[in-house]
Amino acid sequence: MAISQVEKEQLNLQSLTWGELKWIDIERPTERETEYLAQHYPFHSLDLDDCLSRRQRPKIDEYQDYLFLVFHFPVYNKKAQVTTSSQLSVFIGQDYLITLHKGELKPLVKLFKECQIDKESRQENFSQGSGYLLYRIIDRLVDYCLPISNKMLDNIEDVEESIFANITRSQIRKISELRRDIISFRRIIWPMRTVIGNLEPKICRFTKMDLAVYFGDTVDHLDKIWEALDEYKQLIEGLNDTHDSLMTNRTNEVMRILAIVSTIFLPITLVATIWGMNLPLPFQHSSFSMLYITLIMVGLVGGMLYFFRHQHWL
Which residues have CB under 8 Å from 234's CB, separation 6+? Answer: none
State whether the Cα torsion 159-105-45-206 is positive or negative. negative
Q: What is the pLDDT of residue 139?
A: 93
Residue range 263-288, pLDDT digits in tens: 878 877 877 777 666 666 666 666 66
Q: What is the pLDDT of residue 284?
A: 61
Residue 309 pLDDT class (50, 70, 90 cuts): confident
Q: What is the mean pLDDT of the chain?
A: 84
Q: 5-247 with 249-310: one CATH topology?
A: no
Residue 176 has pLDDT above 90, yes or no: no
pTM of the model: 0.77
CATH class of the 249-310 domain in this structure: mainly alpha
Hey, what amino acid is at 254? V
User: For residues 255-284, b (16+ Cβ closer than 10 Å) or e, as one string?
Assistant: eeeeeeeeeeeebbeeeeeebeeeeeeeee
Residue 1 has pLDDT above 50, yes or no: no
Closest by alpha carbon to 138, among 187, 228, 207, 37? Answer: 207
Domain extents for the chain?
A: 5-247, 249-310
Superfamily of domain 5-247: CorA soluble domain-like (3.30.460.20)
Summarize the confidence of residues 219-230 as an average pLDDT: 91
Residue 191 has pLDDT above 60, yes or no: yes
Residues recorded for the chain: 314
Can you tell me whether residue 91 is helix, strand or coil? strand
Q: Return the higher-pLDDT residue of 285 and 116.
A: 116
Q: What is the pLDDT of residue 136?
A: 93
Is the Cβ–Cβ distance between 210 and 236 less than 8 Å?
A: no
Residue range 106-115, pLDDT digits in tens: 999 999 999 9
Residue range 65-97, pLDDT digits in tens: 999 999 999 988 777 777 888 999 999 999 999
Q: What is the pLDDT of residue 241?
A: 81
CA distance 74 to 218: 16
Residue 142 has pLDDT above 60, yes or no: yes
Apex 243 CA angle, 239 and 246, nearest 5: 135
- Indicate the range of 165-174, 185-194, 235-244, 303-312 predicted with least confidence: 165-174
Residue 180 pLDDT class (50, 70, 90 cuts): confident
Q: What is the pLDDT of residue 7?
A: 54
Q: What is the pLDDT of residue 2?
A: 46
Residue range 12-30, pLDDT digits in tens: 889 999 888 999 999 999 9
